[in-house]
Amino acid sequence: MDFSILADAYQRIEKTSKRIEMTKYLVDLVKSTPARDLPKIVYLTQGKLYPDFAGIEIGMAEKMAVKSVSIATGLTDEEINRDLRKTGDLGLTASLELERAAPERKKPLTVDRVYKVLDEVAHTAGPGSAEKKVKLLASLLSNATPTEAKYIVRIVTGKLRLGVADMTMLDALALTYGEGPEARPLIERAYNITSDLGEVASALATKGVSKIRDFHIELGKPIRPMLAERVHAPEEAAEKLGAEFVAEYKYDGERVQVHKNGKRIMLFSRRLENITGQFPDVVALARNSIAATAAILEAEIVAMNPATGDMRPFQELMRRRRKYGVAEAAKELPASVFFFDCLYAEGRDYTGEPYPERREALARSLRIGDAVNLAQNKIVRGTDELESFFEKAVEEGCEGVVAKSTGSESIYRAGARGWLWIKYKREYRSEMTDTADLVVVGGYYGRGRRAGVYGSLLMACYDDKTDTFKSVTKLGAGLTDKDLAELPGRLSPYVLEHVSPRVDAKERPDVWFEPSLVLEIIGAEITLSPIHTCGYNRFREGSGLAIRFPRFTGRYREDKAPEDATTEEEIIEMYESRLRKVAA
Ligand code: AMP
């Protein structure tokens, strides 16, 4: 098939903003494409050569493409750049300059040739690769018509933005190959379980729509993730899910789909990129803890504080998204994995089964260990139970909860957002803008690197009305090695056999202290909490206030007596003032 057919179709698609018209042009294009070339045009139309999960990008810098245009047109780089400053689009510049230069074209470009050369560009690496890429692109442009050159350059530089969404492409495929309206959902399902439009297109073109039913899950191809709807109050979740449902912790990390095939582990992100290389620790955990030989499981990766075992916020996990120093980052910020779904195990596709069956299969497929967990969950009846579970989740560092239907309809709906999963996130929170001075009232023994010292401290504010200290957070972050080494000595004069009568806490630390040492901390926000006693019963029956993600600023407030610490009323005021702002 001539590449000019594709370029003409892009010309038309580019001019319309109506989806119906765009679909029609796509249908014309699909119809005029032989089966052999169909996957190629499906990928190219979205500016790709492969499905996203393959992780192969053409990725040619604009500066290099300028050199190719210069070779093909006989103009200098400066001349091309001058024109580029006017158009702002190297594709357009290439087409205008080729029109002017009118080089002699030997033979028409085919889709196959363009695809092969672009594929070579994508796979060229190592020393001398830049030059080689420039030459490859120039060889195409020298034989391209001005219109063809425009699109080739845009594809190569990642700027072909025709706006053809996956669903529009599926519409076009269904209109061409479907033999009635029932074809569309079947075709969409094939896409949802393979995430590969090219493969779906190829199957339709070569085997026909009747065979699309045979599409099945394949290890190594990510399944498009099921998504959750959102509510703002627990009542709304209960309304949608009925009298009884399951609530699960909503971990604040990165979603991962783990594929295990024998010893081989692959990790895919929510956006279906292959992120295996990013998380060597998760790969090792998955290899050792997934009991099934073949499985596809979903989980949330969460950054942990290695010393305290506490969960760290999402932003810290993002520090592990890097090209270099992957192993060091894994050491500094080790991850825990919280599994929440099983889509496939030992040859069996679980996506059509209700949530309780999938959860059972998940439990069977895993060996729970130190950093490998099943997502915490609980059957809840009514909004009060949901609210309490939610607060516990937030207290432990989660974002909220995901309420999940347990009925017979609660299948895994790949690629769909629906009411079978409902997320309820903390919203009424107060961001802390100021530091607080809190009193150390308890200590927890450290683990790992912090074995033998205190890993974290139970911190309290001061209630001047009753002259008591009320717990408000557990502090682990921001303590340097020097702080950790010194703290046992600093605190030893205050160790108590039992809790001080002036301390009001529900927590049970390993060691109690006489309230004495004051530390300055800064937290991320203040939230309701079932385990801390600061502001207890003030905003909700059975709940107090907690400072989330506290961090020691490094300042020992030896100038302050414990009675000079931040008071309970001040914390309440911080929480309320922010609420007022949210309400306004
Ligand atoms: P959102 O990203 O806000 O749309 O919320 C849905 C996301 O919550 C999913 O994509 C997962 O990454 C994440 N999540 C965390 N814990 C769970 C869980 N137990 N079940 C399902 N999703 C979860």
Distance CA 161, CA 153 (A): 12
CA 393 to ligand 1 center in whole angstroms: 13
CA 353 to ligand 1 center in whole angstroms: 19
CA 433 to ligand 1 center in whole angstroms: 28
Lowest mean pLDDT, pick from 35-49, 429-443, 564-578: 429-443
Same-domain check for residues 105 and 138? yes
Instruction: Kindly give the interhelix angle for 183-194 and 166-177, rounded to the nearest 10 degrees.
Output: 130
Same-domain check for residues 12 and 91? yes
Per-residue CA distances from 389 to 403, 429, 450 (Å): 11, 17, 30
Number of structural domains in the chain:
4
CA 270 to ligand 1 center in whole angstroms: 10
Picking from 156, 180, 204, the residue at the C-terminal end of a domain is 156
Same-domain check for residues 61 and 34? yes
Residue 221 in domain: no
Which residue out of 221, 250, 392, 470 is catalytically annotated? Answer: 250
Whether residue 471 has pLDDT greater than 90? yes
495-554 pLDDT tens trace: 998 999 889 999 999 999 999 999 999 988 899 999 999 999 999 889 999 999 899 988
Instruction: Locate 351 and state its tokens.
Output: 């996506």
Ligand 1 atom nearest the C-alpha of 255 is: 12
Same-domain check for residues 138 and 49? yes
Same-domain check for residues 232 and 381? yes
Distance CA 529, CA 547 (A): 9
Decide if 150 is catalytic. no
Same-domain check for residues 285 and 392? yes
Q: Which residue among 423, 424, 425, 426 is best mutated to probe the pocket of ligand 1, counting the most ligand atoms within 8 A of its Cβ?
A: 423
Q: Which residue among 231, 254, 318, 340 is best mutated to probe the pocket of ligand 1, counting the most ligand atoms within 8 A of its Cβ?
A: 340
Ligand 1 atom nearest the C-alpha of 249 is: 19
Same-domain check for residues 203 and 247? no
Instruction: For residue 205, report the phi and psi dihedrals to the nearest 5 degrees.
Output: -75, -35
Same-domain check for residues 295 and 148? no
Among protein residues, the one whose CA lies closest to atom 3 of ligand 1: 423
Same-domain check for residues 114 and 179? no
Residue 547's nearest CA partner among 459, 439, 440 is: 459
**pLDDT at residue number 428:** 52
Residue 582's pLDDT band, with cuts at 50, 70 and 90, is low
Ligand 1 atom nearest the C-alpha of 421 is: 21
Instruction: Give the CA angle between residues 48, 49, 51 to the nearest 5°.
Output: 75
CATH number at residue 575: 2.40.50.140
Distance CA 85, CA 50 (A): 31
CA 530 to ligand 1 center in whole angstroms: 23
Residue 534 in domain: yes
- Which string of DSSP letters, residue by residue, matches 202-248? HHHHHH-GGGGGG----TTSPPPPPEEEE-SSHHHHHHHH-SEEEEE
Same-domain check for residues 314 and 288? yes
| Residues at CB less than 6 angstroms from ligand 1 | 227-228, 248-251, 255, 270, 300, 340, 375, 402, 423
Structural domain of residue 494, as residue ranges? 434-583
SS3 468: strand
Strands of 377-381's sheet in order across: 227-230, 417-425, 400-404, 244-250, 377-381
CA 401 to ligand 1 center in whole angstroms: 9
For residue 304, list its beta bridge partners: 311
**pLDDT at residue number 365:** 96
pTM of the model: 0.79
Considering the chain, what is the average pLDDT of its residues?
92
**pLDDT at residue number 35:** 95
Same-domain check for residues 446 and 517? yes
For residue 437, list its beta bridge partners: 520
pLDDT, mean of residues 15-27: 92
**pLDDT at residue number 583:** 57
Q: Which residue among 223, 229, 255 is best mutated to probe the pocket of ligand 1, counting the most ligand atoms within 8 A of its Cβ?
A: 255
Picking from 388, 407, 429, the residue at the C-terminal end of a domain is 429
**pLDDT at residue number 222:** 97
Ligand 1 atom nearest the C-alpha of 425 is: 3
Residue 394 in domain: yes
Same-domain check for residues 423 and 441? no
**pLDDT at residue number 568:** 95
Instruction: Give the CA angle between residues 477, 479, 481 to the nearest 5°.
Output: 130
Per-residue CA distances from 292 to 361, 365, 458 (Å): 10, 5, 41
Among protein residues, the one whose CA lies closest to atom 4 of ligand 1: 228
Ligand 1 atom nearest the C-alpha of 248 is: 19
